[in-house]
């Protein structure tokens, strides 16, 4: 299994995974397929500050993980949201763990202080994955998503990457952080 940075050429496969989840699961709150143009725009706007990774097996993208801005106001600049999705035929194989082993340490190295994740409930596998990386539940928004003819709750999880009493340092780009990136053991 190869875990590497996503490129624009990976976006059709990433979108296929995301759109499958949107059409078949409540984990993705999109209710219809999203466009490649929208995902390409998002990638172009974010990947320099918020890493995107793909898992490759037999030359196919079988999963992806990415970070994104939490909110637009400047004070949120040290917080990132993370998400991870697997191809429907590759669940429960440890791919999410491999992806987060690259994504989360890089975000810490960049200077992000807090990570957030929203999990449509129930989703014990996603909850366990996030707990394994130091996330803890901070609350539930009830009835926030209407999909598949019923309401869905979303649990929110957070993880701290930097000491809580330290003033944040400047966030560095993905490129600058990877110049000296310390990679965890596989």
In order along its 186 residues, the chain shows pLDDT tens digits of 999 999 999 999 999 999 999 999 999 999 999 999 999 999 999 999 999 999 999 999 999 999 999 987 888 999 999 999 999 888 889 999 999 999 999 999 999 999 999 999 999 999 999 999 999 999 999 999 999 999 999 999 999 999 887 788 899 999 999 986 555 544
Peptide bond into 18 cis (omega under 30): no
Token pair in block for residue 176: 């600058």
Interatomic CA distance for residues 27 and 7, integer angstroms: 24
Interatomic CA distance for residues 127 and 96, integer angstroms: 12
Q: Which CATH number fits domain 2-113+163-179: 3.40.630.30, 3.30.2450.30, 3.60.20.30, 3.40.470.10?
A: 3.40.630.30
* C-alpha distances out from residue 121 to 11, 20, 143, Å: 27, 18, 10
CB–CB of 168/111 below 8 Å? yes
Interatomic CA distance for residues 139 and 132, integer angstroms: 18
Question: Cα dihedral sign for 174, 133, 99, 27?
Answer: negative
**pLDDT tens for residues 114-127?**
999 999 999 999 99
Interatomic CA distance for residues 186 and 101, integer angstroms: 8
What residue ranges do the domains of the chain occupy?
2-113+163-179
């Amino acid at each position: 299994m190869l875990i590497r940075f996503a490129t624009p050429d990976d976006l059709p496969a990433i979108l296929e995974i995301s759109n499958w989840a949107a059409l078949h699961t409540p984990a993705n709150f999109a209710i219809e397929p999203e466009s490649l143009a929208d995902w390409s725009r998002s990638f172009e706007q974010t990947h320099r500050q918020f890493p995107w990774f793909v898992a490759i097996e037999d030359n196919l993208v079988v999963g992806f993980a990415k970070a994104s801005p939490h909110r637009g106001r400047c004070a949120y600049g040290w917080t990132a949201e993370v998400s991870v999705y697997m191809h429907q035929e590759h669940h429960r194989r440890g791919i999410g763990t491999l992806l987060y082993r690259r994504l989360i340490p890089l975000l810490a190295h960049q200077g992000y202080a807090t990570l957030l994740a929203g999990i449509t409930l129930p989703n014990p596998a996603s909850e366990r994955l996030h707990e394994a990386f130091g996330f803890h539940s901070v609350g539930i928004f009830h009835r926030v998503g209407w999909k598949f003819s019923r309401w869905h709750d979303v649990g929110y999880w957070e993880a701290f990457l930097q000491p809580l009493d330290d003033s944040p340092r400047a966030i560095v780009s993905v490129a600058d952080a990877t110049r000296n990136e310390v990679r965890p053991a596989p």
